[in-house]
Amino acid sequence: MSSRQEQLALNLSEQRERLAAACAAAGRSASEVTIIAVTKTYPVADVLALAALGVTDIGENRDQEAAAKAAATADAGVEVRWHFVGQLQRNKCRSVVTYADMVHSVDSVPLARALAGAADRHRERPLDVLVQVSIDGDAARGGAIEGAADPEREVRAVVDEIAGSPALRLRGVMAVAPVRWEPAEAFAKLGEVAEWIRADHPDATVVSAGMSADLEQAVNAGATHVRLGGAILGNRLPPAVA
């Protein structure tokens, strides 16, 4: 095992222990929560190393990087589940549907329609999607908004658009805690949205919430998926200056 693989194994072990402790404190089983290793900016070698360590849920937030890694991982004969977790532009939908297993960031009716059209043309099975929810209602940032002035960004409208498409499968919600909010408060609000969506769509059970800094609060609020980048992969050094 290389030194890099050893470091990844150590970091992963620490985060699994951290997750287990968070679940125990919340009265939950660690088996209820999936770790998504967010590998943006890291090489495909790290994806392969993580897969060998049992991490098969991989997150990326830029299509160009994600598509290349997905192809290289497949060429290596390794199967992982790809999560697209970044903001998605409609012109990238055609590419994303060819490799993503789940898209976490659907936050408008036009984006849902574009993704559905691409999935219908370029996939053999429905694409799992999450509604990205804006916690603070800031329209300048990503996320569908409850009671939005723009009807195409309203949470219920986005939910209905996804649920009405045979090419998409509504699986739940995602959010990022706003900087000025206490994570526990932010994730509690997300949990309320998730609950009313599940009342109408019982299969929408995924709650993607929590990153390296706020894993515990997310788990306590009911997260089913946590997105960990630096906590597992470490801090990348800046490129050398020529």
Query: How confident is the model over 110-123, as pLDDT tens digits?
Result: 999 999 999 999 99
| Structural domain includes residue 32 | yes
Please tell me the total count of domains within the chain.
1
- Confidence grade of residue 235 (pLDDT, cut at 50, 70, 90): confident
What confidence score (pLDDT) does residue 203 get?
97
**Axis crossing angle, helix 155-163 with helix 183-200, rounded to the nearest 10:** 40
The CATH number that applies at residue 216 is 3.20.20.10
pTM of the predicted protein model: 0.95
Question: Residue 135: which domain range?
Answer: 3-233
Mean pLDDT of 89-108: 98
User: 51 in a domain, yes or no?
Assistant: yes
**CA R_g for the chain:** 18
Asked if residue 188 belongs to a domain, the reply is yes
Q: What is the pLDDT of residues 166-190, one digit of tens each?
A: 999 999 999 999 988 999 999 999 9
> Which of the four pLDDT bands, split at 50, 70 and 90, describes residue 134?
very high
Residue 241 belongs to some domain of the structure: no
